[in-house]
Amino acid sequence: MVKIKLVHPIDRSGELKAAIIRPTGYKVPRKKKALMSLLCSDRDWARVLRSKNDAVAKTKYPNTKICQVMKQLYQYSCIMPSKMFDKELQVAKDIALMAGKIMLEYFDGDQQKEHKDDGTDVTIADKKINSMAIEELTKHFDYGIVGEEESTAEYGDGYRWFCDPIDGTKAFVMGVPTSMFSLGLVIDGQPVLGVAYSPFLDKLYYGVRGNGSYCNDKKLQVSKESGLEGNFVAITSHLEDVMQDPIYVENLIKMGARPNSFCGAVYKGCLVASGKFVGYSEPGTHAHDVAAIQVIIEEAGGKVTGLDGKPFDYTKPFRGVIASNEIVHEEILRALK
């Protein structure tokens, strides 16, 4: 019998006994039937749940794909079994530390900077880290990888790693130590695991859906501040964007917030997750920028959406992000309008 703790009111008792394994006669209370009908009985799902029984009970949807089941569980805000992504998390952490060594190697050295077609910079460190991440991930998993500089797959359903080898390359080039490595795991468009590393501060942030987020193994918690007034909000480092459309920053100041502009979407996201900032918004971020920090922030009690306040769908490209302690999310949305 496997227990899955829930945070959704569908199960007010706080626990669901997921009887997808024997005994088959387990009677599901009516209020749990909606969730139970989503569970499948294939061997992979039983394996993922770390079942100790070989016999798997028949359910209504025996052919349901594991990705579809996990997506539905995510939508019900289920807390996943704590060991479900143990291997993925450990491999991601190891890659993050290796990436950090490469970042430190080139931070004060010859970065071999180039300009990409979109006008942004790329360095030899970006390329080496992206290639290393792909090499290491493919040793262990057959998941697709969407990287900023190099990919093995396109956007879509299924399992995808989203990798930003150096988030904040502009800061890296300028010698400002706010750039970070970022790696997130997404299943059917929903992020379930995130790892981010700052080699300059030696801070390793990580989170797994339903199991909290941490920095150097210390649990993270977003700020409990109830409003923007007097609190820090991170904004884009592209001041030309602010000058072209200054209304947002003007609104933040009118609301009493203290806007701060600096490089590094992942760094800013980690400041929200750790409670230093109450919010952050950026118009130019991509999926590889926010896949990891979305899990880290939300597992610390925060909220992450698009600039329209709607949830992300990682099966296709998107731009822009709002991250907050959840309490001030609507205020930030109003400031943007």
* CATH 3.20.20.70, applies to 86-219: no
Q: Does the structure show a pLDDT above 50 at 29?
A: no
Q: What is the pLDDT of residue 168?
A: 94
**Could you report the per-residue pLDDT of 44-83, keeping only the tens digit for each?**
333 333 332 322 333 333 444 444 544 444 444 444 555 6
- Confidence class of residue 194 from pLDDT cuts 50, 70 and 90? very high
DSSP line for 60-77: S-TT--HHHHHHHHHHTT
Bridge partner list, 114: 122
Task: Enter the DSSP assignment of 14.
Answer: S
Q: What is the predicted pLDDT for the residue at 239?
A: 81
- DSSP bridge partners of 215: 205, 218
Cβ(113)–Cβ(107) under 8 Å?
no
> What pLDDT sits at residue 38?
38
Same fold, 86-219 and 232-336: no
Percent of the chain with pLDDT over 90: 69
Region of residue 281 (phi > 0: left; psi between -120 and 50: alpha; otherwise: beta): beta
As a whole number of angstroms, the distance between CA 74 and CA 80 comes to: 8
pLDDT at residue 197 greater than cutoff 90 = yes
Q: What is the pLDDT of residues 95-152, one digit of tens each?
A: 999 999 999 999 999 999 998 888 788 999 999 999 999 999 999 999 999 999 999 9
The predicted pLDDT at position 80 comes to 56
Domain residues of the chain, as ranges? 2-75, 86-219, 232-336
Tell me, what's the pLDDT at 175? 95
> Mean pLDDT in the chain?
81
With a cut of 60, say whether residue 43 has pLDDT above it: no
> What pLDDT shows up at residue 37?
37
Q: Which CATH number fits domain 232-336: 3.40.190.80, 2.40.50.140, 3.40.50.620, 3.40.309.10?
A: 3.40.190.80
pLDDT digits (tens, 9 = 90+) for 231-281: 999 999 888 877 777 899 999 999 999 999 999 999 999 999 999 999 999
Helix residue spans in the chain (DSSP H):
30-36, 43-48, 66-75, 86-107, 124-140, 169-174, 239-244, 247-254, 265-273, 287-299, 329-336
